[in-house]
Amino acid sequence: MTATLLDAIARDRDDGLDLCAPRLGAFAAHVAPGSLVDGGAVIGTITVLTRRYDVRVPAGMAGRVTTVHVRERGAGVEWGEPLVALSAIDAGDAVAAPTGFAGADDLPPGSVAYEAPMDGQFYRRPSPDEPAFVDAGDIVEPGATIGLIEVMKFFYPVTWDGDATMRVARVLVEDATSVEAGAPLLVLAPIAEGTA
């Protein structure tokens, strides 16, 4: 079943933004509190009979998920009903400077530590008998999956949400490790011109 992309309806609040249902149907969230999202990121899926719609953050918007209003997977939602609440973030919040771990000082300029978007169990591979999503030295394109975080038996993909292609400089977390939101998972370094 192929999904159609729909932009969420954005409504300003005093302390952030609500992303609301662009149509009625059964909603399943793909984000959790603490997740960083920006324009084009899929926050969940609305299913109407046999048709699936991926609901995404409208272009030019970004924030940190503070609340998932519809917690039960497959719960019915109406058009315009709030799905997810976001708080505003600074441009630097999406990728923090690599600090707080051994060897952070000897990284190339422009390196970033990719942080866990939420608390949970971090998995580096899709299943125990498959290779890791990424290893040190791998090239990571924007939107690439770098791991999974399990929260209450739901698996959320962790994707590189930057706008540049990077190289994995270091992997900081082993497979099947409990992490807290904000914990560095891996370090990404810029790719030197003329190399790939």
CA atoms within 13 A on the CB side of 119: 3
Instruction: Retrieve residue 81's tokens.
Output: 């009903």
Instruction: Retrieve residue 102's tokens.
Output: 């051994």
Distance CA 159, CA 90 (A): 19
**What is the pLDDT at residue 28?**
86
Locate the DSSP E strands across 49-144.
51-56, 62-68, 75-77, 82-87, 112-115, 120-123, 139-140
**pTM assigned to the model:** 0.50
* Domains in the chain, CATH or no CATH each: 3-87 (2.40.50.100), 95-190 (2.40.50.100)
Mind listing the pLDDT tens digit for each residue in 86-139? 987 654 444 344 444 544 555 666 778 788 878 889 999 999 899 999 999 999
